[in-house]
């Protein structure tokens, strides 16, 4: 069964350091999402890609966060510098996106748990 791959699963860093998360979506999925989930809350969208283009990054803190999907396949989310409040689970998801077969379902990876000390 096709899955969304994410790495690393767990990351501990000190504040002011740089961190990066990687996501490989399900093959053929044009749309890729990065969500942030703070402990005890629902996931919140950070950025949405359609192929290699950013569709929505209105909630991405652009002073410290960046995301790219250069070839329209895998994606990297970077935080520099990390702050204590960035401690959260970072979830990647993908969907068919823009296809007549799409029913709105997102497929999620297992997430990357970030702890900032």
Partner 1 sequence: AQSVTQLGSHVSVSEGALVLLRCNYSSSVPPYLFWYVQYPNQGLQLLLKYTSAATLVKGINGFEAEFKKSETSFHLTKPSAHMSDAAEYFCAVSPRRWGNEKLTFGTGTRLTIIP
Footprint of partner 1 (CB under 8 A): 4, 6, 31, 33, 40-45, 48, 50, 55-56, 89, 91, 93, 95-100, 102-111, 113
DSSP per-residue codes, 52-83: TEEEE-TTS-TTTEEEE-TTSS-EEEEESS--
What is the nearest approach in angstroms of partner 1 to the Cβ of residue 65? 18
What is the nearest approach in angstroms of partner 1 to the Cβ of residue 88? 13
Cβ-proximal residues to 64 (8 Å cutoff; 6+ apart), any chain: 79, 80, 81, 82, 83, 86
What is the nearest approach in angstroms of partner 1 to the Cβ of residue 47? 11
**Residue 41 half-sphere exposure, CB side, CA atoms within 13 Å?**
12
Q: Which is nearer to partner 1, 27 or 103 (CB)?
A: 103
Q: Which is nearer to partner 1, 86 or 94 (CB)?
A: 94
Query: Which residue in 86, 74, 72, 79 sits closest to 44, CA to CA?
Result: 86
Q: Which is nearer to partner 1, 14 or 56 (CB)?
A: 56
Q: Which is nearer to partner 1, 67 or 97 (CB)?
A: 97
């Amino acid at each position: 069964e096709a899955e969304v791959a994410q790495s690393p699963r767990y990351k501990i860093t000190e504040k002011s350091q740089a961190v990066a998360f990687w996501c490989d979506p399900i093959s053929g999925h044009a749309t890729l999402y990065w969500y942030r989930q703070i402990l005890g809350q629902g996931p919140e969208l950070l950025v949405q890609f359609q192929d290699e283009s950013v569709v929505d990054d209105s909630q991405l803190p652009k002073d410290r966060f960046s995301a790219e999907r250069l070839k329209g396949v895998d994606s990297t989310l970077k935080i520099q510098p990390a702050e204590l409040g960035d401690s959260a689970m970072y979830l990647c998801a993908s969907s068919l996106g823009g296809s007549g077969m799409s029913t709105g379902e997102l497929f999620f990876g297992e997430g990357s748990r970030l702890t900032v000390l």
